[in-house]
Amino acid sequence: MGGRLRSRSRSGVRARRKVLIIHGPNLNLLGRRDPSIYGENSLADIDAALRARGRAHGAGVDTFQSNIEGELVTAIQSATGRYDAIVINPASYSHTSVAVRDALEACGVPAVEVHLSNIHGREVFRHTSMTAAACIGQISGLGLNSYLLGLDAALAHVEGLAPR
């Protein structure tokens, strides 16, 4: 997608789309944590790639990481009215957190769930995502591309370009 994504406000001035990227627990260890599963990119590498992809779309990208469930809930809540979309890797909380799921449902901001590894090809407890049902879709197993495609999909959804 090469176009610049803007929404028209009442004044006719187009506002830049804004996407919040949320990373869950242990993703601060990327690069050192099981590189055979999660790859060699650090979290800073991933965030830099997402900001560059956002710029290519003409969209703003902010990033947030926490190891604490309640901080993830607060970040999701804070997206309401401030962001057009969320891209979230809830990490292990994907498999356990009713609180993160409820926040995603309540915030009214469309979210795409992403995973670096293919959660469906790993241990059985990772096959179920508690949080994915509160998202517009899930991308899993494509490493850094899971995030980049998640950002593309979130912006396409906001612009009404995504097939339904």
**DSSP single-letter state for residue 149:** H
**Sole window of 76-84, 85-93, 100-108, 156-164 interacting with ligand DQA (rule: CB under 6 A):** 85-93
Report the C-alpha gap between 88 and 104 in whole angstroms.
10
115 is catalytic: yes
**Sole window of 14-22, 66-74, 76-84, 109-117 interacting with ligand DQA (rule: CB under 6 A):** 109-117
Quick one: residue 37, left, alpha or beta (phi over 0 = left, psi -120 to 50 = alpha)? alpha
Number of Cα atoms under 13 Å in the Cβ half of residue 152: 13
38 is catalytic: yes
Residue 65 makes contact with ligand DQA by CB under 6 A: no
Residue 91 makes contact with ligand DQA by CB under 6 A: yes
| Total of residues contacting ligand DQA (CB under 6 A) | 10
Place of tokens 């830049």: 16
Chain positions contacting ligand DQA, by CB under 6 A = 26, 89, 91-92, 94, 115-117, 119, 126
